[in-house]
């Protein structure tokens, strides 16, 4: 149970103390008496008072002196005081009482009900102050707890991030080593398969020819996949270097068009290109070739047989620095707007990879989820921007997708 509020009464006359105590007993309070200023001071050492009622005229130390001393002490500096005085009931002495920090003043003889009312108000104020202090202490406690938790979580997160970074670095160097290790024997397989394919005795035998072609196609595909992995690692480590040269996007796209001619025919896809008005831009043609290769392969993969793909480009006239915009558009299955940004992060694929059909150029053919991350890395290296526009994913109505790329015409590659 909460302790009753304590009231300190100070008077040198026992009969006054007696009367006052009797009167205050009408309230839910504990009354402590002091017959002098020094007595009162020593009581405040052991008790916390809600208020004090102090007689002004006392020998040794008068009421004002006592209250001044109380004000100087941290624990009693805000103690409400009612001065009671028989003699100095004029305005001057009222003022003196207030200056000493008192909150109220009563002249003797006092009317009991008025004194009780004043005391009640002080007690209410005291209760309110106590509640506020308790709430404040609670808030401070919560705050400290919260801060500690946030600090702990931050530390945990920092540690987890460090571990992840380490793991990511390990993974990256593992992939780099494996990729380089695979490349050498793969080049041998590729080289021998090419030799086999052109050997007259193999050429004369249809079955051997089919087998040699199969080996070669597989080896080329593996070679490409390894190349894509290495590109991603280079982008991740910021070491995708660009060679600064004049690049004709029309020439780059037309060479890709030739490379993919068989696939386009096989999948009955039409590819129209309009890059006539696009000027040569400063960049790395090998990387730009990869950029459009990824975008075109995706357009092929995500467009059903018989669909349309287009690549259009133009110079953005109103840009302060000349820029070109290229749009790779397809009539494919489209992309849900929720994924328009996510698809550019590495390994991100919409839908389940298990549902993808195999084959790099088949409808919904499998991929490693790196194509667009690499495309974005290449565009960023050229100080450009890439984004996708599509009404949504719909495999029946095929709303299509449009990948926009904006590249500066004259810009040295970013660091
Ligand atoms: P993936 O190897 O899976 O093709 P990408 O990084 O190239 O990886 O693409 C990420 C995802 O973006 C794909 O899994 C696919 O869901 C979606 N996507 C990319 N291009 C297209 C497109 N032209 N049409 C529809 N979806 C696309």
The pLDDT tens digits of the residues spanning 173-199 come to 888 888 888 888 899 999 999 999 999
Confidence band (pLDDT; 50, 70, 90) for 308? very high
Res 239 pLDDT > 90: no
CA of 163 to the centre of ligand 1 (A): 30
Residue whose CA lies nearest to ligand 1 atom number 16: 350
| CA angle (101, 105, 106) in 5-degree steps | 160
CA of 25 to the centre of ligand 1 (A): 85
Sign of the dihedral defined by the CA atoms of residues 110, 112, 117, 118, in that order: positive
Res 330 pLDDT > 70: yes
Give the DSSP per-residue string, 49-94. Answer: -SEEEEES--SSS-HHHHHHHHHTSTTTTT--EEEEESS--SHHHH
pLDDT at 412: 62
State how far the Cα of 362 lies from the Cα of 358, in Å rounded to an integer: 7
pLDDT at 129: 86
**Weakest mean pLDDT among 149-158, 261-270, 315-324, 371-380:** 315-324
Residue whose CA lies nearest to ligand 1 atom number 1: 369
pLDDT at 64: 86
**Residue 56, CB half-sphere, CA atoms under 13 Å: how many?**
20
Res 62 pLDDT > 60: yes
- Joined together, the tokens standing for residue 401 give 């997708």
CB atoms within 10 A of CB 14: 10
CA of 295 to the centre of ligand 1 (A): 9
Sign of the dihedral defined by the CA atoms of residues 21, 25, 26, 27, in that order: positive
The per-residue pLDDT for range 70-116, each reduced to its tens digit, is 988 888 988 999 988 877 555 545 555 555 555 788 888 888 999 99
**From the alpha carbon of 371, which atom of ligand 1 is closest?**
7
State how far the Cα of 76 lies from the Cα of 267, in Å rounded to an integer: 91
Residue whose CA lies nearest to ligand 1 atom number 3: 369
Mutate-to-test residue for ligand 1 from 229, 311, 349, 401, highest number of ligand atoms within 8 A of CB: 349
Res 45 pLDDT > 60: yes
Residue whose CA lies nearest to ligand 1 atom number 21: 298
Residue whose CA lies nearest to ligand 1 atom number 23: 299
Res 303 pLDDT > 90: yes
Mean pLDDT, rounded, for 379-387: 94
Instruction: Return the percentage of the chain with pLDDT > 70, whole number.
Output: 90
pLDDT at 249: 95
CA of 133 to the centre of ligand 1 (A): 60
pTM of the model: 0.62
29 Rama sector, left if φ>0, alpha if ψ -120 to 50, beta otherwise: beta
**From the alpha carbon of 328, which atom of ligand 1 is closest?**
23
Mean pLDDT, rounded, for 387-409: 96
Pocket residues: Cβ below 6 A from ligand 1: 294, 298-299, 302, 330, 332-333, 335, 343, 348-350, 367-373, 401
Q: Furthest-apart CA pair in the chain: how many Å?
A: 136
Res 207 pLDDT > 60: yes
Mean pLDDT, rounded, for 43-65: 92
Residue whose CA lies nearest to ligand 1 atom number 12: 343
Give, in order, the Cα–Cα distances in Å from 382 to each of 188, 231, 250, 298, 376. 34, 15, 17, 21, 10
In Å, how far from its chain's centre is CA 40?
59
The DSSP element (H or E) to which 148 belongs, if any, is: helix 112-198
Mutate-to-test residue for ligand 1 from 229, 298, 360, highest number of ligand atoms within 8 A of CB: 298
Res 350 pLDDT > 80: no
Pair 229, 266: CB distance under 8 Å: no
pLDDT at 97: 54
* Residues 148-166: b if buried by 16+ CB within 10 A, e if exposed: eeeeeeeeeeeeeeeeeee
**From the alpha carbon of 334, which atom of ligand 1 is closest?**
25
Res 415 pLDDT > 60: no
């Amino acid at each position: 149970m909460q302790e009753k509020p304590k009231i300190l009464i100070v008077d040198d006359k026992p009969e006054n103390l007696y009367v006052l105590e009797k009167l205050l007993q009408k309230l839910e309070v504990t009354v402590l008496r002091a017959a002098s200023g020094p007595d009162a001071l020593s009581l405040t050492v052991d008790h916390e008072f809600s208020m004090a009622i102090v007689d002004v005229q006392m020998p040794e130390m008068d009421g004002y002196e006592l209250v001044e001393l109380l004000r100087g002490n941290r624990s009693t500096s805000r103690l409400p005081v009612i001065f009671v005085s028989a003699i100095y009931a004029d305005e001057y002495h009222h003022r003196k009482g207030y200056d000493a920090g008192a909150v109220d003043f009563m002249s003797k003889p006092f009317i009991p009900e008025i004194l009780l009312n004043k005391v009640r108000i002080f007690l209410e104020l005291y209760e309110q102050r106590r509640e506020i202090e308790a709430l404040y202490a609670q808030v401070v406690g919560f705050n400290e707890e919260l801060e500690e938790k946030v600090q702990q979580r931050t530390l945990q997160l920092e540690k987890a991030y460090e571990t992840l970074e380490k793991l990511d670095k390990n993974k990256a160097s593992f992939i780099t080593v494996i990729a380089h290790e695979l490349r050498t024997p793969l080049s041998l397989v590729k080289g021998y398969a090419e030799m086999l394919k052109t050997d007259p005795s193999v050429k004369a035998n249809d079955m051997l020819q089919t087998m040699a072609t199969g080996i070669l196609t597989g080896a080329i595909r593996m070679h490409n996949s390894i190349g894509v992995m290495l590109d991603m690692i280079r982008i991740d480590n910021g070491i995708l270097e660009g060679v600064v040269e004049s690049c004709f996007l029309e020439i780059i796209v037309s060479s890709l068009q030739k490379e993919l001619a068989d696939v386009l025919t096989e999948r009955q896809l039409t590819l129209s290109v309009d890059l006539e008005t696009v000027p040569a831009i400063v960049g790395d043609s090998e990387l730009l070739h990869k950029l459009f290769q990824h975008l075109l392969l995706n357009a092929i993969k995500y467009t059903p047989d018989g669909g349309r793909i287009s690549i259009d480009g133009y110079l953005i006239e109103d840009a302060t620095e000349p820029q070109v915009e290229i749009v790779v558009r397809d009539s494919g299955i489209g992309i849900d707007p929720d994924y328009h940004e996510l698809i550019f992060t590495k390994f991100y694929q919409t839908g389940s990879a298990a549902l993808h059909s195999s084959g790099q150029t088949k409808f919904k053919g499998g991929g490693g989820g790196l194509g667009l991350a690499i495309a974005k890395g290449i565009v960023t290296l050229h100080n450009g921007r890439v984004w996708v526009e599509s009404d949504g994913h719909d495999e029946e109505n095929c709303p299509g997708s449009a990948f926009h790329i904006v590249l500066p015409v004259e810009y040295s590659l970013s660091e």
